[in-house]
Amino acid sequence: MILTGPEITAGAGDGRIAISPFRPEQVNPNSYNVTLGSSLLTYTDEVIDAHRPNPTRTHYIGAEGFVLDPGELYLGHTVESLGSDTYVPLLFGRSSVGRLGLFVEITAPIGDIGFHGQWTLMLSAVRPLRVYAGMKIGQVMFFASQGDIDLYRGKYQRSVGPQVSRYWRDVMVAS
């Protein structure tokens, strides 16, 4: 069951959903709009290696915006810190930015119950596209869960800013 906009507002008011900052004008009929933060990361090596940490470069989005280049993966972040110990959040790109050729969060839209923090956004543009800090980039929907809840305690908890992949840590533990 998906929460409606009024239920998202009620949940943000009574603590079932954490959204900071919460802005009533960002509530939709069944989702909450999230906005793009002011920094982006790109990987700097020609080949990204899943078995080790990868160096990155930080880019800041100024008042004039920042042009995303095709063929590059950008890690952005939401301005909003959000999460829930009750509901499952799912983040999708807004259709308006999809119509500009911007792919947002294609492979990892689901958040875990108990995650709280800024969401890292995987951004990819099909042609050069200027983006701006604070623009509405995605929308989060909240779904009711069924069964016992085991809260998220993973490596990205309380994230601030874009987070690089820490997949290599999983590989080291498995070895």
**CATH code for position 58:** 2.70.40.10
**How far is it between the farthest Cα atoms of the chain?**
48
Q: What residue type is 80 in one-letter code?
A: E
8 A C-beta contact, residue 58 and residue 40: yes
Q: Is the torsion defined by CA of 77, 82, 83, 89 positive or negative?
A: negative
Our count of domains for the chain comes to 1
Q: 126 is in which domain, residue-wise?
A: 5-174
- The pLDDT value recorded for residue 63 is 97
- The pLDDT value recorded for residue 175 is 55
Name the residue with tokens 């890292």.
Answer: 120
**One digit per residue, pLDDT tens: the chain, 175 residues?**
999 999 999 999 999 999 999 999 999 999 999 999 999 999 999 999 999 999 999 999 999 999 999 999 999 999 999 999 999 999 999 999 999 999 997 667 888 999 999 999 999 999 999 999 999 999 999 999 989 888 888 777 778 878 777 777 666 555 5
146, 151, 156, 158: CA torsion to nearest 10: 110
pTM score, whole prediction? 0.89
Rounded CA gap, 5 and 1, in Å?
Answer: 13
At 166 the three-state DSSP class reads coil
8 A C-beta contact, residue 167 and residue 50: yes
What the block records as the tokens of 21 is: 């900052």
